[in-house]
Amino acid sequence: MMHRPPPPDDFALKETSPHLGGGKVSGDKLTSTYDLVEQMQYLYVRVVKAKDLPGKDVTGSCDPYVEVKLGNYLGKTRVFEKKTNPEWNQVFAFSKDRLQASVLEVTVKDKDVVKDDFIGRVFFDLNEIPKRVPPDSPLAPQWYRLEDRQGNKAKGELMLAVWMGTQADEAFPEAWHSDAAVVSGADGLANIRSKVYLSPKLWYLRVNVIEAQDLLPGDKGRYPEVFVRAILGSQALRTRVSLARGINPMWNEDLMFVAAEPFEEPLILSVEDRVAPNKDEVLGKCAIPLQYVDRRLDHKPVNSRWFNLEKHVIVEGEKKKETKFSSRIHMRICLEGGYHVLDESTHYSSDLRPTAKQLWKSSIGVLELGILNAQGLMPMKTKDGRGTTDAYCVAKYGQKWVRTRTIIDSFSPKWNEQYTWEVFDPCTVITIGVFDNWHLHGGDKAAGAKDSKIGKVRIRLSTLETDRVYTHSYPLLVLHSNGVKKMGEIHLAVRFTCSSLLNMMHMYSHPLLPKMHYLHPLTVSQLDSLRHQATQIVSMRLGRAEPPLRKEVVEYMLDVGSHMWSMRRSKANFFRIMNVLGGLIAVGKWFDQICNWKNPITTVLIHILFIILVLYPELILPTIFLYLFLIGVWYYRWRPRHPPHMDTRLSHADSSHPDELDEEFDTFPTSRPSDVVRMRYDRLRSIAGRIQTVVGDLATQGERLQSLLSWRDPRATALFVIFCLVAAIVLYVTPFQVVALLAGFYILRHPRFRHKLPSVPLNFFRRLPARTDSML
């Protein structure tokens, strides 16, 4: 096999030994929740409500809010207008690593135009604050009497709960964090919080357009050229023009769409007549809500229906006009539950289950991911004259997406968040991406900004040993137009726990995709188009969540655009093929050395083995399988102990020409100057020319094989036919073992009995005619 040199140390995977679970993890055993991350201590303050607050305004009312202050960190609740008994129920979290004081101060103030009025406050000594560790019940809040500036009792009471906890606390995801104190506005705060998202449930919608009847074309003096256009959201497809020209056209053609629950838009069909090359006349329309469409789990035919065609689609709320006569269209429409809607690259699929839940198999295990921290991140934007990065992570597996909280202004952010997924197939991939948040302050200012990609990691579950905790630091590698660049490292802890080893082993005998993909397959072009539509729908739906998972993030995680032409990727795939064929090439070279007696002892041993196998042919298959078994056992000593990771050498990312990378990052259609495009086109032509020559040579060899019996060359075919007759007679009267021995000894003959000229069969084959003479 061809072995590539190892990648640079800077780009390599590094095994680590973090202090997981606060020291509660012994070996690889599960001992507690949140055991795949390092514990982070937080001071939590839950401000519940206040009562009997004094009126500070002229009107005798107050607009209260609460300030929670610890050293230089200050958090504020929202303001209630004219309310003396407000309820906030907000949580504030202060990282223990950044505590700058020994006293916590909670102050109630009255919002005023000029200067906010002081109402009262409560002090807490940090040494007296209780600790709480889940699964303990939440700490019950208590009423505290407010004090004035002199320490005397003031009017009003405040209900609070104050405790020391970890990131495993239920209050953690929704809490205001001291390290995000610079974030302003409700939109900004929402954009930095951790969140779990679910992809919308996707269906394939099959529209079988059968026929139409009683159409009313505008021009009665010509045969209409009728086709059907179908629109679902942003997807638009059309049938071919009916061959049965007239007012009763037929098509019997399938159109495939992607639909997402909840179904928001109807399927709109319009029957159109091509009256001129660029002019179509609408003969009728109908709108079909998808909520009432039949669903099927297999390929049993659903009932077809006739739909009335209207000149205008009826909008909700409008009254439908009664019509005595209308054109009709005959269709069979159904939602396909037996397929898996592909919304990600086939090579990195994280879910392979069919749409219909009734067809799901039981889960085979659990995947746990601990996102610990990142190191050495690059500055992604400039703020106040210096580089800064506000990083967050997104992980995607199956239908579940997770987003960590954003760590503000840090090149070494610590998330220490843990997430869990059910696993239904071990041959799936989890993707973890790191991004820079450009939406800290919300509002219109950030509306046009895009979150920057820092890098991503893929981990295939089938490469992991079960019940083992993998703790590694993965390099975050991103390919730019000026070359590959390391953007930092992300520290992950991963564990794949198998619930049933037998079920998991049984999964290896099942087809990857649901059976409908094999019994009634979709075409490659259909799958490509449907995958594009599915990714658009997923990115649009997740972009409407709060906080949104933005389009650029979703598309980067789903590898949108990875199918575009790339010289670098083409080279990488060529060398991957050569690496795969390297084993066969090495065996061929070894056999050539045997035939040429480079090592006489080995050649003699091969002769003995060959004689044994010819005399006892029943030993051939057992010998092959025993040999493969021994190779597998031998290689077990050097089995990989780390998950696979991005390889710059394999990807040819570190040796690509800058112009090739610039071409890879070009838009589609191109945005480069005409002279650059001309140069790239000429380069592509030269490459295509070489490929064309190779394909032509392969076709020539195949045509020569066909011409053996085609009598295209009568003398050659006559010779071959006579040879076949003689060979049939000889092989009939001669035992097969004798023939095999003679053939083997001839192939393994000593170099003294060999000629440097090509053999007679090869000379004969090369003289056979091919169809190259007929090519223009």
**pLDDT score recorded for residue 185:** 60
pLDDT greater at residue 759 or residue 520: 520
Q: How many CA atoms lie within 13 A of 762 on its CB side?
A: 4
Same topology, domains 41-166+169-194 and 358-558? Answer is yes
Does position 110 have pLDDT exceeding 70, yes or no? yes
Does position 325 have pLDDT exceeding 80, yes or no? no
Query: Is 358-558 a CATH 2.40.160.20 domain?
Result: no
**pLDDT score recorded for residue 746:** 86
Give CA–CA dist 446/555, Å, rounded: 19
pLDDT tier for residue 26 given thresholds of 50, 70 and 90: very low
Does position 237 have pLDDT exceeding 60, yes or no? yes
**pLDDT score recorded for residue 455:** 93
Does position 8 have pLDDT exceeding 90, yes or no? no
pLDDT digits (tens, 9 = 90+) for 139-184: 889 999 999 888 888 888 999 999 998 888 888 888 888 777 667 6
pLDDT tier for residue 9 given thresholds of 50, 70 and 90: low
**pLDDT score recorded for residue 27:** 43
Does position 294 have pLDDT exceeding 50, yes or no? yes
pLDDT tier for residue 659 given thresholds of 50, 70 and 90: confident
pLDDT digits (tens, 9 = 90+) for 489-517: 999 999 999 988 888 899 999 999 999 99
Q: What are the C-alpha distances in Å from 134 to residues 26, 178, 353?
A: 19, 22, 35
Mean pLDDT score, 99-106: 88
Beta-sheet pairing, 469-480 with 483-498 = antiparallel
For 478, other C-beta atoms within 10 Å of its C-beta total 19
Q: What is the DSSP string of 353-398?
A: --SSGGGPPPP-EEEEEEEEEEESPPP-EEETTEEE--EEEEEEET
Give CA–CA dist 286/186, Å, rounded: 44
Kindly give, in sequence order, each residue whose CB lies less than 8 Å from that of residue 131, ignoring residues fewer than 6 positions away: 163, 164, 165
> Which residues on adjacent β-strands are paired with residue 46?
91, 161
**pLDDT score recorded for residue 445:** 52
Give the least confident one: 75-84, 350-359, 426-435, 505-514: 75-84
pTM of the model: 0.84
**pLDDT score recorded for residue 313:** 58
**pLDDT score recorded for residue 1:** 42
Does position 406 have pLDDT exceeding 60, yes or no? yes
Kindly give, in sequence order, each residue whose CB lies less than 8 Å from that of residue 320, ignoring residues fewer than 6 positions away: 314
Give CA–CA dist 741/615, Å, rounded: 9
**pLDDT score recorded for residue 133:** 73
pLDDT digits (tens, 9 = 90+) for 514-525: 999 999 999 999
Q: What is the DSSP string of 555-585?
A: HHHTTTTTTS--HHHHHHHHHHHHHHHHHHH
Give CA–CA dist 290/267, Å, rounded: 7
Give CA–CA dist 321/661, Å, rounded: 60
pLDDT tier for residue 59 given thresholds of 50, 70 and 90: low
Query: Is 201-315+324-336 a CATH 3.40.109.10 domain?
Result: no
Q: How many CA atoms lie within 13 A of 318 on its CB side?
A: 8
**pLDDT score recorded for residue 421:** 95
Give CA–CA dist 715/738, Å, rounded: 31
Three-state DSSP class for residue 107: strand
pLDDT digits (tens, 9 = 90+) for 581-601: 988 999 999 988 888 888 889
pLDDT tier for residue 648 given thresholds of 50, 70 and 90: confident
Q: Give me 62's structure tokens.
A: 């107050």
Mean pLDDT score, 354-372: 93
What are the strands of the beta sheet with 429-436, ordered from one edge? 195-198, 400-403, 391-397, 429-436, 452-460
Q: What is the DSSP string of 446-465?
A: GTT--PEEEEEEEEEGGGSP
**pLDDT score recorded for residue 530:** 94
**pLDDT score recorded for residue 23:** 56
Q: Give me 282's structure tokens.
A: 């609408």
Give the least confident one: 55-59, 349-353, 398-402, 468-472: 55-59
The mean of the pLDDT values for the chain is: 87
**pLDDT score recorded for residue 2:** 43
pLDDT tier for residue 351 given thresholds of 50, 70 and 90: very high
Give the least confident one: 96-100, 256-260, 728-732, 771-775: 96-100
Does position 316 have pLDDT exceeding 70, yes or no? no
Q: What are the C-alpha distances in Å from 264 to residues 47, 291, 400?
A: 40, 9, 22
Give CA–CA dist 144/104, Å, rounded: 14
Domain ranges of the chain: 41-166+169-194, 201-315+324-336, 358-558, 573-774
Give CA–CA dist 488/456, Å, rounded: 11
Beta-sheet pairing, 414-423 with 365-375 = antiparallel
State which fold the 41-166+169-194 domain adopts: Immunoglobulin-like (2.60.40)
Give CA–CA dist 535/344, Å, rounded: 7
Give CA–CA dist 766/764, Å, rounded: 6
pLDDT tier for residue 7 given thresholds of 50, 70 and 90: low
Give the least confident one: 2-11, 58-67, 191-200: 2-11
Does position 25 have pLDDT exceeding 50, yes or no? no
Kindly give, in sequence order, each residue whose CB lies less than 8 Å from that of residue 639, ignoring residues fewer than 6 positions away: none
**pLDDT score recorded for residue 539:** 94
Q: What is the DSSP letter of 758?
A: P
Three-state DSSP class for residue 213: strand
Does position 35 have pLDDT exceeding 90, yes or no? no
Does position 453 have pLDDT exceeding 70, yes or no? yes
Does position 4 have pLDDT exceeding 60, yes or no? no
- Percentage, residues of the chain above pLDDT 70: 93
Q: Which of 116, 60, 113, 63 is nearest to 86 (CA)?
A: 63
